[in-house]
Structure 1
Amino acid sequence: MDRTMKRLILLALMTFNCTLVCADTLTLKAGYPESYVVKKGDTLWDISATFLSDPWKWPSLWNVNPQIANPHLIYPGDQLTLVFIDGQPRLQINGVAAQGKARVRKSPEGRIIAKNNAVPVVDLALIENYLTQHRVVDSLWLAEQPMVLAGESPSRHHVVGDIIYIDAQLPLNQKYGIYERGREFFNTETAEPLGQEAILAATGQVIDSGKVSKVRLLSNFRETKAGFKLLPLEDDSLMSAYFMPKAAQLTTPAAVLAIESMQREAGKLNVVYIDKGTQDGVEPGAVFSIYRDGEVIVIDNKGLPVPATERTAYDNLMALVSSDRTVQMPDVYHGQLLVFKVFDKASFGLILSTERPVRVDDKLVAPESLVLRGQ
């Protein structure tokens, strides 16, 4: 191996190591407090945002040990103090380093944490409905599932206590979710189907099994109608509420697939679908930065930029046929979102910060420091 090649390899290793160090560096927010008393309704994200420019890096702030179950349990009334250990900022609980070893409090597993219990990552009230009531499933699979035919009541809509008829022989006493079809999603670039939105309308229990089974409705989130589908209930639907934020790891950018509320734009604390899921390596807790393509500037015959609002049809034509007449502006930062529920080819994300409204097709990439963006 010649000397030049050795130097290149050494430089690459030094760059890689520097990247790892920079990725782990915590940047404190201007005006950060030296201590903080946890209040009812606080979230780990909000508390970390009090101290850090990038709240998603809170596991490092708390010095979390991934080998310890629920190491981040803090409670309303705890006093947090900022200290520096080996030059890095760390939070202490009541004067004891928050490493998960100093104090142990048990909390129920696999369900929403009560408001007077441990502080959650984000406000669970914002995502509870999406954890329990929304799914994205394969559209062909959904079409094959048992269907609501009608009900004992002559009404077209059925509510709690009503008995509905299902076109399949179902296990007696088995509980199901009754789902309404929502939107069907496709990749905007490849047209690949990403799944069918299924919205939980009710739950029910089989009381009579036969060629046409009877199901009594146990709960309602919306009225049930003929044509709705029966799916097994997700027993682990709430487990996605427990995760640690981490930078998204994708080789290609993701995109905002749809806004759950079907509005034109989304803002802080709104929920959106993204076009990547478990098949792409997305996991609950993944944090994305949201960007929109920068404007394409057209240069006129005099060599001057033409604002988009003043372009003529000729300017737009020249922009299409001549790359020499256009300049692509940098992508514009719009905010950050946190993935909290993942399906095969799509995911749910909660927008946790915005500087500009978020729209469908906005790009999602691994987060970068606010300091690097000059903010």
Structure 2
Amino acid sequence: MRYPLFAAMLALSATFPSLADVLTIKKDAPKQYVVKKGDTLWDISGIYLQEPWQWPELWKMNPQINNPHLIYPGDALSLIYDEYGNPRLVINQGYKKLSPYGRITSKGKNAIPTLPLELLRPYLTFEQALNVDDIADKPYILGANVNTKMNTEGHIVYVKGELKLHESYAIYRKGDAYVDPQTNEELANKAQLVAVGRVFRKGDITNGIPASVKIEQVKREIKAGDFLMPAIEGQLLPAYFNMHRSEQPVQGEIIASVTGLREFSTMDIVVLNLGSEQQVKEGHILDIERQSPTVFDGRNGPRYKEDSNSLEKLITNASEFFGVEADADTTVWHMPKEQVGQLMVFKVYKNVSYALIVKNQHPIRVGDFAVIN
């Protein structure tokens, strides 16, 4: 028998029903593929489809693969077409694996996942994006049982705030703000995990007695002022993501990356200035678009704005600001946005969200647009 290790998978449960009619197989897709260790459903679907997130349609109505999450290294997959001409992947039962027979071994831990969860794991459990008011209301560390500015594993820290006895708490530090590039509004603050501890003395705020927390795990030194949240808070996501597009148009921007770099690629994680307030949900697929450069067409012929001289730039900026033509001899050409990739939202806060880049034609950058038209 085969048992899936669901807790170790990021499973995507559905996609557009209408896509079955337009599912297109790549011209160079193989007729047969043998699953290798380290493969994911996303990897295999990408061999056959231009849009790997359409994978549920490729495995749909498959009598041999009741659950596509239960395929294993060594399984041979064959590409066939049903009576309606729809492409399907099936397990080739005639393919013989070179393995001994005679006993049944549980292979659950080797079942291939949809996406490599190890890439997301730190951001499913450690990353938080909280607004200033939320942070201000949290219990915070006053000091420790030793007179030092930085504390570590084994220390006892004293906390101002209501804590539950014997409960486990995560300790966070307020990080940099996520800022909206259009309004300069602070959308949230990055909360960096510092440590985890357990409450062994409840305390009494009314009488000036702090709660006591024994530090059990440390990621970095603990400082006075670091705040606490229940260890489980903000760390739970659905085991299955319904991967789909929003019915409402959405437009935002990539405002940061978790690595701090300004260019990134497939399977990198980025931060968007979109959240629950903008009706964004976990599993939403958004296109990544980039603004094509403005062209200044004047007496010297068409040139990119950045290649124009100072006077031309001044005229261009004025025309853009006032919404008029530059002058009788020049025209400002505002080029369209072009798609450069796709991303999937996997963690949503009020005004920001974390997303995984699932496809890119060019390096993705901070400032690129995230849209659903």
Please tell me the TM-score bracket, short chain as reference: 0.7 to 0.9
Name the structure 1 match of 2:101.
none
Whether 2:278 is the aligned partner of 1:285: answer: no
Establish whether residue 74 from structure 1 lines up as the match of residue 74 from structure 2.
no
Does residue 343 of the first structure (1) align with residue 341 of the second (2)?
A: no
Partner Cα separation in structure 2 for residue 146 and residue 349 of structure 1: 29
8 A contact 2:250–2:372 mirrored in 1: no
| 2:313 corresponds to 1:320 | no
Give the Å deviation of 1:345. 2.1
Paired position in structure 2 for 1:359: 365
Q: Partners in 2 of 1:134 and 1:166 — Cα distance?
A: 22
Aligned pair count?
A: 330
In structure 1, the residue matched to 2:158 is: 165
Q: How far does the alpha carbon of each residue in 1:107-131 deviate from its partner, in whole angstroms, 9 at most, with x for none?
A: 9xxxxxx993332221111110000
Partner residue in 1 for 2:22:
25
| Residue aligned with 2:47, SS | helix
* CA shift for structure 1 position 282: 2.1
Q: Which residue of 2 aligns with 1:147?
A: 140
Q: State the AA in 1 paired with 2:182.
A: E
What residue in structure 2 maps to residue 38 of structure 1?
35
SS at match of 1:295: coil
Post-superposition offset of 1:20: 8.1
> Quick one: structure 1 residues 187 and 307, their matched pair in 2 at CA, closer, same or farther if it must change by over 3 Å?
closer
| Counterpart residue identity of residue 295, structure 1 | P
- Counterpart amino acid of 2:49? L
Find the counterpart in structure 2 of residue 5 from structure 1. none
Residues 292 and 362 of structure 1 are in contact (CA less than 8 Å); yes or no, is this contact kept in structure 2?
A: yes
Aligned-pair CA distance for 1:50: 0.6
- Cα shift readout 1:285-319 (whole Å, capped 9, x = no counterpart): 222221111111001135x2023453101111221
Partner residue in 2 for 1:63:
60
Report how far residue 57 of structure 1 moved: 0.9
* Change over 3 Å in CA distance of 1:343–1:74 after alignment to 2: farther
Structure 1 residue 133 displacement after superposition: 0.3
Specify which of 203, 208, 215 is matched with residue 217 of structure 1: 215
User: Who is 1:103 aligned against?
Assistant: none
- Decide which moves more: 155-164 or 135-144: 155-164
Q: CA separation of 1:20/1:218 partners in 2, compared to 1, >3 Å: closer, same or farther?
A: closer
SS in 2 for 1:128: helix
SS for the counterpart of 2:263 is coil
State the distance in 2 between where 1:141 and 1:64 align. 47
Q: Which secondary structure state, in structure 1, belongs to the residue aligned with residue 110 of structure 2?
A: coil
Long gaps (5+) in structure 2: 1-15, 95-105, 204-208, 326-330
SS in 1 for 2:135: helix
CA contact (8 A) 1:250 1:280 kept: no
Q: CA deviation at 1:254?
A: 2.2
Structure 2 vs 1, CA of residues 134 and 242 (structure 1 numbering), >3 Å: closer, same or farther? same
Q: 1:37 to 1:23 in 2, by over 3 A?
A: closer
Q: Which residue of 2 aligns with 1:189?
A: 182
2:293 to 289, 292, 295: 295
1:209, 1:244 → 2: CA distance?
41
The TM-score normalised by the length of structure 2 is: 0.80
1:164-187: CA deviation from partner (whole Å, max 9, x where unpaired) = 111124221111110111222233
Q: Equivalent residue of 2:188, what SS?
A: strand
- RMSD of the TM alignment (CA)? 2.9
Is residue 276 from structure 1 mapped to residue 274 from structure 2 by the alignment? yes
* AA matched with 1:134: E
1:232 aligns with 2:230: yes
| CA–CA separation in structure 2 for the residues paired with 1:241 and 1:254 | 26
Distance in 1 between residues matched to 2:349 and 2:109, nearest whole Å: 31
TM-score between the two structures when normalised by the length of structure 1:
0.79
Which amino acid in structure 1 is aligned with residue 309 of structure 2? T
Give the C-alpha shift of residue 280 in structure 1. Answer: 2.5
Identify the residue that residue 5 of structure 2 maps to in structure 1: none
Query: Aligned equivalents of 1:34 and 1:238: distance in 2?
Result: 39
User: Residue 64 and residue 234 in structure 1: after superposition, are their counterparts in 2 closer, same or farther (change >3 A)?
Assistant: farther
Partner of 1:137: 130
Change (3 A) 1:318 1:23: farther
- Relative distance call for 1:50 and 1:270 in structure 2 (3 A) is same
> Aligned letter for 2:371?
V
Contact 2:256-2:262 at 8 Å conserved across structures: no
* Change in 2 beyond 3 A, CA 1:81/1:71: closer
